[in-house]
């Protein structure tokens, strides 16, 4: 029977490495065979939560309705920078139906963002929280917000990172606007020397926009106190993270806080951390002795719950005539808003290609704009857009095919640490992707097409983490009738966690899919699993579920040996039937076996193994785009995207395709349309709804072909799964940008590539 | 005066009498009404302003031929009185009575059209309305029907596949079985003049133009609504209390479509979806302009009268109607008058309607053979996007292929829809050569001074206007 041990294990989460002490199994299960030899893993299985979702019976946090539930809404700053002098809630309080108001007048001091508090009187951006009203209805709460009188001193503001870095800019913090007081720096080799010796150099500046996650379900929580026990339903990607933040904020034991999240309407990173609104609702609910629902509306979503920060990237690359990439210099800055965050985008420059000389200098700059939050591969779509645009420019300069150039500079070992990879099939991705798009038919003379509508083809590379790791656990309960319940403290953002967990149990134990119940998203019942970000859910959770299922099989075989009075080594488990190979008469099925047991359920646990020492696990890939550009209107139409990736083992072909199509469409949208616009004169966001903040509609989709070049990464875990949610979005914008250049012979160095930028660039060319 | 509306929900007749009702008012949206009920939480709210489609419901109504017509609309933009005499269908009603899934739902499961699932009920409803229509299951029809539904997860491809499959073979469903009963109930709900008044608000639903004009005269500040998609936002987003509203929904005279030998007449309450359908044959440029006007859900509510009445400088409809030399028919208690559409819109969000006048309809002459009319729109997204610039062109060549008559009308280039008068004058009588067009382009540039805004820069607008002229003549060369 499995025992466990504790190890220090390194895992990469969002933007940095974390070393954690983790409980891992002592008897790691061997790798699975190829998917062709598995029953249900890798097959196109319909999601088990499909019925709930299409019938309207799926209950989201937004839909939770408790008896006597009151409604809370937040008053936010309408100006980008101010100090509150006085808050008068008198009129609002006397409005019939108002039950309570919290503000800096009466709220206890709760620390937030390291530098601030739950209700800070220093307002650092349009959308910063001022007060929270709870009322009998949302309409009353909203009316009350309008009745709150704020006296404040408006302060000079800065919404532009470059301006904010300057001497004269208004200071958001006394220490200055550069986070940490200095840039992040990295260097290897000797960049200056490499530039001196180079045969070819390219140097240019690229910029990318602020993008907003805008999941379809807005951020929301419902809280309920039962004595001093607090239950919170929250639309979150991190039930344990929210639990700990709420417990800390309210100074109560984590054991008294239960976080539940069954279904959620997307997150993309914006729901990776606990929001102030959840804590405000908990405080108000305690105050009024009633359950409270709090909702952040679409406008607030576009102001206050995070963004992909902008970037300005100055890149200088060098190569020798034979196509060796000899130097990369990356200088960048980006606005992180009024609170701690990150605008870094240099990871691709540091690790995408083999390059001996690399220098990075990047600044995260405080501005009076909304906060940053991880957004589907934070830093990477912007970093790859600049890097792979420059790579294409460099390849052109030395007259080399950009595909060949990338192949030549493929890193066999990790370029920063000289460490081997558990698996890397980037060359295969280049080859298979190029074949699928018809790369050999690419026009080698950019802009050569005749007529106003010109066609082009381009590509870009992808690198990301996604190996996951421990700690991550699962519990499996087998019932007397042969049905099973698998429980984990993870969450399904809509990505398919429910379904793959059931598939794994089915694969190992042959229990029919409709007899497997998956419970997740509840800190009261699920063993710990990490938050769902960084494309780590499947690579962290799937091995734990398999471990639990394999442990169950071991248990069943032991029980059967005792019941059948057989030797354990003679027993086999096939299709849910245990039989003795030495005596065909001796056989028993699961319900039969469990009927003989005293227990009505038997339980096993499973854990994710440690990551292999000394190895790096990453995902890789390449995307290829075919576009046409109307040179009269500047409109770009993407006709086809081929995505070829190494993401380890495919668990479910349908959910995998979903993730890739969705990621590519977000990438296309990032490339061509979505963009938060701030009026620099007022410091206010111009587009705070889904009409003005454009995300793609159904008619915008190109043909998409997804090729998975990997079978599995057996060194990484017993399932060999790597993550796929973030890899999908990373190279799309860069591939489209390179295709646009190939079509028109003019490079667009700014995202999104809107018709006006294209047309203006053509006009200036 | 009657203040009680009647509609069907969950196969039962629901009556709301606003003189007694305390929870809901005549400007409560159908979304807020449904989300207040215990068993309709499947109707989702994603934006509450008609941009995302998560709240899509279907309204079925008598089609005048003893059948029912099903329309998918955004419940966040519809006031309760608009349900009067109709069957309200939500996602909870779609599955079969035995709990098994309707074909559109099953296809969404099988093709993996649902990921996080929050937008799914809206997609199901749009697909269901399409299932109940007789439109073909072509890619174009499917895209058009689903344009108003945003999905942030799936990338849409599996949803298209699900729709294509579900619509292949449209067998009678459980709705078909109860249609007769429903029709019987709906027929019993009398369409009559209604006035729903609360302490602070009056909502009129007259049944004739005469009555409408009388009410307007008595309540000069009353806002006349047709689809009300703009007005709904004032209520839901700006929390305005609109004291007096006149809804034209029940006035048959405003819902008239008449085609004669030389023109098409449409009442002002005709929806843009209906206009799109009737213009397909004679007025392809109107069809084109309608097809890129918002989403199908919006088009099902937005009306000709509403679109002309707001006189938006970037409205898509006025330029193309002007290219067809459309007349606007207006009436008041004093009588009717006819105003050419380019005179009807006379400034930034200003019309030449006089006090007491309302838009009754429009008359679109059939162009003579040989006249070419085209519409172009430039925006970031393919649909559901307000134009940066839109343009309509009309050209009648003479026998020598010279430009006998030319009309060039732009939206988004000035404070209102505007003709390029100098360019028109320059081109008239000239031959259709590339040289002529290139000579015309600087003239065009000179006669407009567009502004920069969040949608794009002034410089871009100037270039695009010139290029669209070029595009028009390029396209002519192809024909």
Domain-located, residue B97: no
Closest Cα in chain B to A657: B154
Q: Is pLDDT of B91 > 60?
A: yes
The two structure tokens encoding residue A492: 């399904």
Question: What is the three-class DSSP state of A473?
Answer: strand
Q: Is pLDDT of A298 > 80?
A: yes
Spatial separation of the C-alpha atoms in residues A91 and A343, rounded to whole Å: 42
Furthest-apart CA atoms within chain A: distance in Å: 89
- In whole numbers, what is the pLDDT of chain B averaged over residues? 92
pTM: 0.96
Contact A587, A578 (CB under 8 A): yes
B425 and B346: one domain?
Answer: yes
B404 and B261: one domain?
Answer: yes
pLDDT tens for each residue of B197-246: 888 899 999 999 999 999 999 999 999 998 877 888 888 888 888 999 99
pLDDT category at B349 given cuts 50, 70, 90 is confident
Residues 175-234 of B with CB under 8 A from A: none
B16 and B143: one domain?
Answer: no
B363 and B419: one domain?
Answer: yes
Q: Which positions in chain A touch B149 (Cβ < 8 Å)?
A: 698
For residue B381, give the nearest of A139, A217, A700 by CB distance. Answer: A700
Q: Is pLDDT of B286 > 80?
A: yes
Q: What is the complex's ipTM, to 2 decimals?
A: 0.96
Q: DSSP for A509-544?
A: H---GGGEEEEESBTTTSPB---S-TT-HHHHHHHH
Q: Which positions in chain A touch B94 (Cβ < 8 Å)?
A: 55-56
B342 and B278: one domain?
Answer: yes
B199 and B308: one domain?
Answer: no
Spatial separation of the C-alpha atoms in residues A493 and A295, rounded to whole Å: 18
Closest Cα in chain A to B465: A633
Domain-located, residue B262: yes
Q: Which positions in chain B touch A754 (Cβ < 8 Å)?
A: 380, 456
pLDDT of residue B382: 59
Interchain CB distance below 8 Å, B48 and A694? no
For residue A266, give the nearest of B42, B47, B153 by CB distance. Answer: B153
In this structure, what CATH number is given to the domain that contains residue B201? 3.10.20.30
User: How big is chain B, counted in residues?
Assistant: 479
φ, ψ at A32 (rounded to 5°): -75, 155
| Count of A-B CB contacts under 8 Å | 233
The two structure tokens encoding residue B242: 């609109």
B382 and B464: one domain?
Answer: yes
Domain covering A419-464+615-765 assigned CATH 1.10.10.10 in the classification: no
Q: Is pLDDT of A538 > 50?
A: yes
Instruction: Over range B457-464, report the average pLDDT.
Output: 87
Domain-located, residue B241: yes
Closest Cα in chain B to A668: B155
B120 contact partners, CB below 8 Å, separation of at least 6: A53, A54, B108, B113, B114
- In whole numbers, what is the pLDDT of chain A averaged over residues? 96
- Starting at the edge strand found earlier in the chain, the sheet holding B389-397 runs B372-378, B389-397, B403-411, B418-419
Å from B33 to nearest chain A CA? 13
Interchain CB distance below 8 Å, B44 and A62? yes
pLDDT category at B292 given cuts 50, 70, 90 is confident
**Percentage with pLDDT > 90 across chain A:** 94
Architecture of the domain made up of A4-61+468-607: 2-Layer Sandwich (3.30)
The two structure tokens encoding residue A740: 């646009």
Contact A429, A624 (CB under 8 A): no
Interchain CB distance below 8 Å, B154 and A634? no
pLDDT of residue A643: 98
Q: What is the CA radius of gyration of chain A?
A: 27
In this structure, what CATH number is given to the domain that contains residue B153? 1.10.150.120
Instruction: Over range B445-466, report the average pLDDT.
Output: 85
Contact A382, A313 (CB under 8 A): yes
Q: Is pLDDT of B385 > 60?
A: no
pLDDT of residue A632: 93
Q: Which of B295-304, B325-334, B356-365 has the lowest mean pLDDT?
A: B295-304
Q: Which positions in chain A touch B383 (Cβ < 8 Å)?
A: 697, 699
pLDDT category at A1 given cuts 50, 70, 90 is very low
Question: What is the three-class DSSP state of A421?
Answer: strand
Q: Is the peptide bond before A752 cis (omega within 30 degrees of 0)?
A: yes
pLDDT tens for each residue of A417-462: 999 999 999 999 999 999 999 999 999 899 999 999 999 999 999 9
Decide if A4-61+468-607 and A161-215+309-418 have a common fold: yes
For residue B117, give the nearest of A143, A494, A662 by CB distance. Answer: A494
Å from A182 to nearest chain B CA? 34
CB contact, 8 Å: B162 with chain A? no
Interchain CB distance below 8 Å, A495 and B115? yes
Spatial separation of the C-alpha atoms in residues A217 and A264, rounded to whole Å: 7
Instruction: Over range A147-165, report the average pLDDT.
Output: 97
Interface test mutation site (partner B, options A53, A496, A696, max chain B beta carbons within 10 A):
A53
Name which residue leads in pLDDT, A578 or B386.
A578
Q: Give the Å distances, CA to CA, from A241 to A245, A522, A533, A539, B238.
A: 6, 12, 12, 19, 36
Closest Cα in chain A to B47: A298
Fold for A64-155+216-266+271-304, please state it.
Aldehyde Oxidoreductase; domain 4 (3.30.365)
Q: DSSP for B38-51?
A: TT-TTS--S-SSSS
Domain-located, residue B214: yes
Interchain CB distance below 8 Å, B470 and A632? yes
For residue B47, give the nearest of A298, A697, A699 by CB distance. Answer: A298
Q: Which positions in chain B touch A635 (Cβ < 8 Å)?
A: 378
pLDDT of residue B455: 67
Q: Is pLDDT of B384 > 70?
A: no
Q: Which positions in chain A touch B29 (Cβ < 8 Å)?
A: none
Domain-located, residue B327: yes
pLDDT of residue B381: 66
Domain boundary assignment for chain A: 4-61+468-607, 64-155+216-266+271-304, 161-215+309-418, 419-464+615-765
Question: What is the three-class DSSP state of A24?
Answer: strand
Q: DSSP for B115-181?
A: SS-SSHHHHHHHHHHHHTS-----HHHHHHHHTT---SSS-SHHHHHHHHHHHHS----HHHHHHHH
Task: Give exposure, B193-216, as e/b (b: 16+ Cβ within 10 Å).
Answer: bbbbebeebbbbbbbebebbbebb
pLDDT tens for each residue of A676-733: 999 999 999 999 999 899 999 999 999 999 999 999 999 999 999 999 999 999 999 9
pLDDT of residue B478: 64
Q: DSSP for A424-469?
A: --HHHHHHHHHHHHTGGG--SSTT---SSEEEEEEEEEEEE-----
Q: Give the Å distances, CA to CA, from A561 to A552, A577, A580, A582.
A: 14, 13, 9, 12
Q: Give the Å distances, CA to CA, from B460 to A756, B389, B469.
A: 5, 10, 14
The two structure tokens encoding residue B80: 């309760």
- What DSSP designation does A632 have? T
Q: How many structural domains are present in chain B?
A: 3
B211 and B233: one domain?
Answer: yes
Interface test mutation site (partner A, options B55, B116, B126, B143, max chain A beta carbons within 10 A):
B116
Question: What is the three-class DSSP state of B249?
Answer: coil
pLDDT of residue A712: 98
pLDDT tens for each residue of A654-687: 999 999 999 999 999 999 999 999 999 999 999 9
For residue B152, give the nearest of A143, A266, A698 by CB distance. Answer: A266
Closest Cα in chain A to B93: A55
Region for B436 from its dihedrals, namely left if φ exceeds 0, alpha if ψ lies in -120 to 50, beta otherwise: alpha
pLDDT tens for each residue of A120-152: 999 999 999 999 999 999 999 999 999 999 999
Q: Is pLDDT of B383 > 60?
A: no
Domain-located, residue B334: yes
pLDDT of residue A752: 97
pLDDT of residue A15: 62
Q: Which of A144-158, A448-462, B294-308, B325-339 has the lowest mean pLDDT?
A: B294-308
Å from B2 to nearest chain A CA? 28
Residues 426-465 of B with CB under 8 A from A: 454, 456-457, 459-460, 463-464
Interchain CB distance below 8 Å, B44 and A635? no
B126 and B151: one domain?
Answer: yes
Strands B244-247 and B223-225: parallel
Q: What is the CA radius of gyration of chain B?
A: 23
Å from B248 to nearest chain A CA? 27
Interchain CB distance below 8 Å, B105 and A55? yes
Residues 39-68 of B with CB under 8 A from A: 41-52, 54
Question: What is the three-class DSSP state of A606?
Answer: strand
- Give me the residues paired with residue B257 across strands: B266
Spatial separation of the C-alpha atoms in residues B113 and B123, rounded to whole Å: 9
Residues 69-98 of B with CB under 8 A from A: 90-92, 94-95
B364 and B223: one domain?
Answer: no
Spatial separation of the C-alpha atoms in residues B83 and B196, rounded to whole Å: 14
In this structure, what CATH number is given to the domain that contains residue B262? 3.30.465.10
For residue A691, give the nearest of B43, B51, B90 by CB distance. Answer: B51
The two structure tokens encoding residue B348: 């930034």
A397 contact partners, CB below 8 Å, separation of at least 6: A200, A202, A319
For residue A695, give the nearest of B105, B150, B468 by CB distance. Answer: B150
Contact B129, B58 (CB under 8 A): yes
pLDDT of residue B387: 63
For residue B155, give the nearest of A44, A217, A704 by CB distance. Answer: A704
**Percentage with pLDDT > 70 across chain A:** 99
pLDDT of residue B72: 97
- Give me the residues paired with residue A70 across strands: A292
Q: Which domain holds residue B323?
A: 256-475
Å from B107 to nearest chain A CA? 10
Architecture of the domain made up of A161-215+309-418: 2-Layer Sandwich (3.30)
Q: Give the Å distances, CA to CA, from A317 to A323, A327, A428.
A: 12, 5, 25
CB contact, 8 Å: B368 with chain A? no
Domain-located, residue B98: no
φ, ψ at B7 (rounded to 5°): -150, 170
Q: Is pLDDT of B1 > 70?
A: no
B232 and B369: one domain?
Answer: no
Interchain CB distance below 8 Å, A672 and B118? no
- What DSSP designation does A610 have? P
- Give me the residues paired with residue A738 across strands: none
Q: Is pLDDT of A281 > 70?
A: yes
B289 and B379: one domain?
Answer: yes
Spatial separation of the C-alpha atoms in residues A156 and A170, rounded to whole Å: 6
Contact A130, A88 (CB under 8 A): no
Q: Is pLDDT of A16 > 80?
A: no
pLDDT category at A11 given cuts 50, 70, 90 is confident
User: How big is chain A, counted in residues?
Assistant: 765
Domain-located, residue B71: yes
The beta-strand segments (E) located in A179-285 are: 184-188, 200-208, 220-226, 229-234, 257-260
Interchain CB distance below 8 Å, B378 and A143? no
């Amino acid at each position: 029977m499995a025992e466990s041990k504790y190890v220090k294990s390194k895992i990469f989460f969002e933007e940095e490495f974390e070393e954690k002490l983790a409980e891992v199994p002592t008897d790691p299960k061997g790798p699975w065979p190829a998917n062709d030899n598995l029953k249900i893993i890798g097959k196109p299985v319909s999601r088990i939560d499909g019925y709930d979702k299409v019938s309207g019976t799926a209950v989201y946090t937004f839909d939770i309705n408790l008896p006597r539930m009151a409604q809370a809404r937040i008053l936010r700053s309408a100006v980008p920078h101010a100090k509150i002098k006085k808050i008068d809630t008198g009129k609002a309080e006397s409005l019939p139906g108002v039950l309570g108001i919290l503000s800096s007048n009466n709220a206890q001091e709760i620390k937030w963002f390291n530098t601030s508090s739950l209700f800070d009187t220093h307002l650092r951006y349009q959308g910063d929280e001022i007060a929270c009203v709870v009322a009998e209805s949302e309409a009353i709460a909203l009316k009350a917000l309008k009745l709150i009188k704020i006296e404040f001193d408006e302060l000079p503001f800065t919404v532009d990172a470059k301006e904010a870095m300057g001497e004269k800019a208004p200071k958001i913090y006394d220490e200055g606007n550069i986070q940490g007081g200095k840039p992040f720096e990295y260097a290897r080799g000797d960049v200056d020397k490499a530039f001196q010796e180079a045969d070819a150099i390219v140097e240019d500046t690229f910029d990318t926009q602020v993008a907003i996650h805008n999941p379809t379900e807005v951020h929301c929580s419902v809280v309920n106190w039962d004595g001093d026990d607090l239950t919170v339903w929250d639309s979150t990607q991190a039930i344990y993270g929210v639990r700990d933040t709420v417990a800390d904020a309210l100074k109560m034991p984590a054991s008294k806080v239960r976080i539940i999240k069954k279904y959620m309407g997307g997150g993309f990173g914006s729901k990776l951390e606990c929001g102030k609104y959840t804590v405000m609702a908990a405080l108000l609910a305690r105050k009024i002795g009633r359950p409270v629902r709090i909702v952040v509306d679409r406008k607030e979503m576009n102001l206050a719950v995070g963004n992909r920060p902008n970037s300005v990237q100055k890149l200088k690359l060098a190569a020798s005539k034979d196509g060796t990439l000899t130097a990369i210099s990356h200088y960048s800055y980006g606005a992180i808003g009024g609170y701690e965050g990150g605008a870094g985008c240099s990871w691709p420059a540091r690790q995408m290609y083999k390059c001996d000389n690399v220098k990075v200098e990047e600044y995260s700059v405080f501005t009076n704009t909304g906060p940053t939050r991880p957004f589907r591969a934070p830093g990477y779509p912007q970093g790859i857009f600049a890097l792979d645009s420059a790579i294409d420019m460099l390849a052109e300069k030395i007259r080399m095919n950009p595909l060949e150039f990338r192949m030549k500079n493929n890193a066999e070992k990790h370029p920063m640490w000289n460490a081997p990879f558990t698996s890397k099939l980037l060359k295969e991705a280049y080859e298979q992707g190029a074949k699928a798009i018809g790369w050999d038919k690419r026009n080698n003379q950019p802009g050569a097409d005749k007529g106003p509508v010109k066609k082009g083809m381009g590509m870009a590379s992808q690198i990301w983490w996604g190996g996951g790791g421990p700690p991550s656990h699962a519990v499996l309960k087998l019932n007397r009738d042969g049905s099973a319940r698998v429980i984990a403290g993870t969450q399904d953002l809509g990505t398919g966690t429910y379904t793959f967990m059931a598939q794994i149990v089915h694969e190992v134990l042959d229990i029919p899919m409709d007899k497997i119940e998956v419970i997740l998203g509840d800190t009261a019942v699920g063993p710990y699993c990490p938050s769902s970000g960084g494309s780590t859910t499947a690579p962290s959770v799937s091995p734990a579920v398999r471990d639990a299922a394999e442990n169950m099989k071991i248990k069943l075989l032991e029980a059967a040996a005792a019941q059948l009075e057989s030797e354990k080594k003679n027993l086999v488990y096939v299709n849910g039937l245990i039989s003795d190979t030495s005596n065909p008469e001796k056989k028993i099925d699961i319900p039969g076996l469990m009927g003989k047991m005293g227990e009505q359920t038997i339980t096993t646990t499973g854990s994710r193994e440690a990551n292999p020492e000394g190895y790096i696990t990453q995902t890789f890939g390449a995307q290829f785009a075919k576009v046409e550009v109307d040179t009269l209107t500047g409109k770009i139409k993407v006709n086809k995207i081929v995505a070829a990736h190494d993401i380890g083992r495919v668990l479910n072909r349908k959910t995998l395709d979903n993730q890739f199509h969705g990621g590519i469409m977000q990438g296309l949208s990032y490339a061509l349309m979505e963009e938060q616009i701030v009026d620099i004169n007022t410091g206010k966001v111009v587009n705070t709804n889904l009409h003005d903040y454009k995300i793609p509609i159904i008619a915008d989709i190109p043909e998409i072909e997804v090729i998975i070049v990997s079978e599995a990464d057996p060194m990484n875990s017993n399932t060999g799964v790597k993550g796929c949610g973030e890899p999908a979005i990373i190279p799309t914008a860069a591939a489209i940008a390179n295709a646009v250049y190939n079509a028109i012979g003019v490079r667009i160095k700014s995202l999104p590539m809107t018709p006006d930028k294209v047309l203006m660039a053509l006009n200036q060319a | 005066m009657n203040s009680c509306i009647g509609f069907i929900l969950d196969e039962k007749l629901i009556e709301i009498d606003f003189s007694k009702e305390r929870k809901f008012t005549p400007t409560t949206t159908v979304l807020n009404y449904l989300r207040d009920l215990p068993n309709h939480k499947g109707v989702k709210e994603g934006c509450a302003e008609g941009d995302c489609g998560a709240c899509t419901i279907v309204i079925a109504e008598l089609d005048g031929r003893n059948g029912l017509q099903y329309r998918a609309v955004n419940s966040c933009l519809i006031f309760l009185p608009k349900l009067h005499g109709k069957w309200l269908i939500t996602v909870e009603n779609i599955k079969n009575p035995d709990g098994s899934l309707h074909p559109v739902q099953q296809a969404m499961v099988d093709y993996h059209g649902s990921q996080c699932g929050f937008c799914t009920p809206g997609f199901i409803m749009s697909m269901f309305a399409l299932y109940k229509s007789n439109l073909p299951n072509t890619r174009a029809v499917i895209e058009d029907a689903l344009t108003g539904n945003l999905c942030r997860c799936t990338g849409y491809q599996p949803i298209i596949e699900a729709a294509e499959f579900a619509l292949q073979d449209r067998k009678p469903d459980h709705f078909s079985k109860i249609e007769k009963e429903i029709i019987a109930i709906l027929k019993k709900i009398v369409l009559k003049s209604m006035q729903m008044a609360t302490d602070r608000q009056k909502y009129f639903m007259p049944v004739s133009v005469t009555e409408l004009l009388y009410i307007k005269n008595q309540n000069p500040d009353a806002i006349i609504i047709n689809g009300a998609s703009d007005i709904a936002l004032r209520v839901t987003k700006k929390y305005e209390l609109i004291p007096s509203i006149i809804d034209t929904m029940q006035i048959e005279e405003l819902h008239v479509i008449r085609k004669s030998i030389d023109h098409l007449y449409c009442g002002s309450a005709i929806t843009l979806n209906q206009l799109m359908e009737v213009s397909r044959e004679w007025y392809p440029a109107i069809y084109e302009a309608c097809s890129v006007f918002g989403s199908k859900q919006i088009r099902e509510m937005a009306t000709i009268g509403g679109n002309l009445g707001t006189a938006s400088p970037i409205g898509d409809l006025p330029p193309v109607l002007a290219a067809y030399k459309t007349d606007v028919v207006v009436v008041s208690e004093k009588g009717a008058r006819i105003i050419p559409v380019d005179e009807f819109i006379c400034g930034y969000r200003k019309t030449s309607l006089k006090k007491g006048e309302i838009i009754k309809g429009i008359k679109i002459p059939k162009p003579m053979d040989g006249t070419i009319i085209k519409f172009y729109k430039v925006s970031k997204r393919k649909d559901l996007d307000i134009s940066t610039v839109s343009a309509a062109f009309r050209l009648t060549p003479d026998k020598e292929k010279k430009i006998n008559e030319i009309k060039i009308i732009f939206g988004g280039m000035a404070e209102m829809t505007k003709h390029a008068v100098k360019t028109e004058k320059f081109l008239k009588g000239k031959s259709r050569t590339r040289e002529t067009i290139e000579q015309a382009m600087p003239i065009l540039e000179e006669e407009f001074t567009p502004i920069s805004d969040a949608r794009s820069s002034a410089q871009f607008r100037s270039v695009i206007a010139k290029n669209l002229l070029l595009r028009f003549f390029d396209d002519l060369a192809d024909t």
